[in-house]
Amino acid sequence: MSDSIFITDVGPRDGLQNQPKILTVEQRLALIAAIAGAGVASIEVGSFVSPRAVPAMAGTDEVVKSLPAGDGTHYTALIPNLKGYELAREAGAASVTMVLYASEGMARKNVGMSMQAAEEATTEILARAREDDIEVIATISVAFACPFDGAIDPAVVSAVADRFMRLGADRVVIADTIGAADPQQVRALTADLVRDHGSERLGCHFHDTRAMGLANVFAAVESGIRRFDASIGGLGGCPFAPGASGNVATEDVVMMLEQMGFRTGIDLSDLLAASDLAEQLTGTAPGGRSKAWLKPWLAQQAAG
């Protein structure tokens, strides 16, 4: 098993979509640049959704158009439907992250579609993206529990993952949108998925609502997962999923995995500077337990 971990920071999307304070395009770009500057492999920079539904994500086309070309960072943008795909393509996105659902309740509340309709739209997007040479990441939301429909049968998630692996999604990400999963559930589901599909195209996305985010990352690592979403400063939460709080903080995930001997390619001092910027821009610091300990420790290392 590889000792390299590939982190996608979803703070500029998952983190900012739910903030009471709406950032300007320039502020969003500054946050993205700070995260990229820390060596984070991949960043989800925004979403092509209705600005009426999510005002904080208006202007994502400007964000995508202004991303630095060829800086070695992988950038993706979330899309909820075909219209989002077209907007992302017009803005020049090289990668899109399309949302699939493990429950009917969440599909309806989030995008007013059935699970089946979201799968059909994704199938169509995959076909178009192949022609347009755009990468498609398929994220299965509410993969463990849904705020509307309750517990999710892992067989439902496995079946969706199986279909989109076969259809050629570049990646399939298992998302605990409301942060309700426990490490045993995560270990069981991810072990089955890695056995069936290998780990190369699989990723996980955890929220820390019930303080199990890092434990869930660990459980997935043990199953062989090497791709994780995380959010700078632990910002995050879905406006359409009641009770969903922030993602597991990027700095916490990086500190834990590096201490365990994995390589993320991320510079922790620069990452903390990005976390400070996220805090300063949004006026909130919801997560990120490691920062309070890491800051003086890193200063001591630098001095010594």
Q: Which residues are marked as active site?
A: 238
Residue keyed to tokens 């995995």: 257
The contact mask relative to ligand COA for 237-256 (x = CB under 6 A, - = no) is -x-x----------------
Q: What are phi and psi of 293, to 5 degrees?
A: -85, -40
Q: Which does 66 bind (CB under 5 to 8 A by kind): Zn ion, ligand COA, none?
A: none
By CB under 6 A, the residues from 43 to 82 that bind ligand COA are 47-50, 53-54, 78, 80-81
Residue keyed to tokens 């739910």: 18
Q: Which does 47 bind (CB under 5 to 8 A by kind): Zn ion, ligand COA, none?
A: ligand COA
Tokens matching residue 5: 């971990």
Phi-psi region of 198 (alpha: psi -120 to 50; beta: other; left: phi over 0): left
Rounded CA separation 296/300 (Å): 6
* H helix runs in 11-59, sequence order: 25-37
Among the listed ranges 38-46, 90-98, 109-117, 288-296, the one in contact with ligand COA (CB under 6 A) is 109-117
Which residue lies nearer to ligand COA by CB, 32 or 254? 32
Our finding on whether 206 is near ligand COA (CB under 6 A) is no
Tokens matching residue 285: 């610091």
The answer to whether the beta carbons of residues 161 and 193 sit under 8 Å apart is: yes
Which residue lies nearer to Zn ion by CB, 219 or 268? 219
Our finding on whether 121 is near ligand COA (CB under 6 A) is no
Which residue lies nearer to ligand COA by CB, 11 or 80? 80
Rounded CA separation 49/83 (Å): 8
Q: Which does 81 bind (CB under 5 to 8 A by kind): Zn ion, ligand COA, none?
A: ligand COA
